[in-house]
Chain A
């Protein structure tokens, strides 16, 4: 199941929720040149997931859901342009668990 919120796709696989860059977001920010992920292990809704510097803007990307961060796309730290990729396996941001399913269901369908 796929939803969209805060310009990110939210893909649900079992209890794991992957947040992925949308083409609209990629278009709005331009080529990504610098990425720094949050060091927090848990995020509340609208907490910062990462800060990125791209050709068109500097952006603080906020989480559309509260949850526990179980993985971040570390590769993007070394190779920020991965976040410009059309492939979800390259342009994902973080994976969350412990998300309230009702909150997820309330998001807009992708």
Chain B
């Protein structure tokens, strides 16, 4: 795989939400290439951004749908697979 997808989630600030995001990635075999997580002090939510190797847009769409229905997930957006060069430029 030489393409990368980016996933961004905003989570309710309660224990367990982040684990569900990471568990969903792990179960599907995605190892984070880069990951950032922080508490957004402006609204008290948890933000997580993950880049992972994936060249199948359909898989990313299904992952987003799965995450959207997790109870502590407030918002999910994803950038579909692009090459690492494109990602760096972006």
Partners in one complex: no
